[in-house]
Amino acid sequence: MKTFTVRGARIHSRADLFTELGHSVNGAGGYFGSNLDALADCLGGSYGTPDDEPFRFVLTDSAKAKAALDSHTWSGLLEVFDSVGVDLVLR
């Protein structure tokens, strides 16, 4: 299974969240959504994720990332991953 690692220690704002998601999938400067709706679209396939095999995300330093985000963004992030059926492993 393909795993994308998101560096939670680098998340200090909502914008940083989407920047780090983009880096994890598409490298430096990579795009992977700029809001929760766009993230859901990106998680649906293409945009750098495999179309023909399962994949998951691992969020390292998830406690730091959670502390940096407002509760709406954090809960929305978890809901998006759950709704599209992509695992988000919190470490």
Residue-wise pLDDT tens digits, 2-55: 999 999 999 999 999 999 999 999 999 999 999 999 999 999 888 999 988 999
Cα 18 from Cα 40, distance rounded (Å): 12
The reported pLDDT for the residue numbered 89 is: 99
Query: 65-77, pLDDT tens digit by residue?
Result: 999 999 999 999 9
The reported pLDDT for the residue numbered 12 is: 99
The reported pLDDT for the residue numbered 45 is: 80
Contacts of residue 61, Cβ cutoff 8 Å, sequence gap at least 6? 7, 8, 9, 91
Cα 74 from Cα 21, distance rounded (Å): 14
Pick the CATH number of 2-90 from 1.10.3720.10, 3.30.370.10, 3.40.50.2300, 3.10.290.10: 3.30.370.10
The pTM score is 0.94
